[in-house]
Amino acid sequence: MSAGWTREQMAARAAQDIPDGACVNLGIGIPELVAGFVPEGREFIYHTENGLLGMGPPPAENERDLDLMNAGKKYVTAVPGAAYFHHADSFSMIRGGHIDVCVLGTMQVAANGDIANWSTGAPGAIPAVGGAMDLVQGVKRIYVITQHTTRNGDPKLVERCSYPLTGPGVVSRIYTDLAVVDVTDDGFRVVELAPGVDFEEVKNKTGASILPSD
């Protein structure tokens, strides 16, 4: 068994790569944890699809405002300097290339940067896409945070996604429990290994060829 990174450590590692002043959209799940690890001296501005730039942390239960939610339908707060706007403006921020970084979870990500994170495509499944396809096409940098493998041990970093795509060739960097991995013209390349993890382990748990760090 490897040591590797916890969910919080993966989120903290991703936060290190977000520049000061960036407008950031965080997906549901581990990506939400990024907000708790803003590096000293930096400020991130959080965008949520349902019309808020300047999203703050969740309120205490007795301070909830029923009209103040995030795109995950959770109650949130607005920081001083926040702005509200309608849905077309919100997605103009996304589709118009005004959001700097989006951090997403995924089911699969491929060596060419394809991402599949909205549907298994299984018969009878109810498809639900939300804003995922808009985010991956519109945001300047797409980062993915994910466990390196599924609960069954199947690789989530693959040669080609077998699930329906959210978008082709859009992911630039992946943070897993084992490593930070870049999507390059030559496919996956390890940027950094988690403590106690060696390249062989990452290679064995990756479903595509992967290059060691320089």
* Catalytic center residues: 49
**Residue 35 lies near other proteins (rule: CB under 8 A):** no
Q: How far apart are CA 137 and CA 125, in angstroms?
A: 24
Q: Which of 108, 166, 176, 206 binds other proteins (CB under 8 A)?
A: 166
Site track 57-86 with other proteins (rule: CB under 8 A), x = hit: --------xxxxxxx-x----x-----xxx
Largest Cα separation within the chain, whole Å, is 52
Minimal distance, residue 161 CB to other proteins, in Å: 11
Minimal distance, residue 194 CB to other proteins, in Å: 32
Q: How far apart are CA 140 and CA 203, in angstroms?
A: 28
Chain-centroid distance, C-alpha 1: 26
Beta carbon nearer to other proteins, 98 or 203: 98
CB-based burial label for 126 (10 Å; 0-12, 13-18, 19+): exposed
Rounding to the nearest 10 degrees, give the CA dihedral for residues 60, 25, 194, 160.
Answer: 130
Q: Which of 14, 165, 174, 197 binds other proteins (CB under 8 A)?
A: 165
Q: Give, as ranges, the residues between 93 and 122 that touch other proteins (CB under 8 A).
A: 94-95, 114, 121
Full DSSP string of 21-74? T-EEEE-SSGGGGGGGGPPTT---EEEETTTEEEEEPPPPGGG--TT-B-TTS-
**Residue 131 lies near other proteins (rule: CB under 8 A):** yes
Minimal distance, residue 79 CB to other proteins, in Å: 13
* Contact residues for other proteins, defined by CB under 8 A: 48-52, 65-71, 73, 78, 84-88, 90-91, 94-95, 114, 121, 124, 126-134, 137-138, 164-169
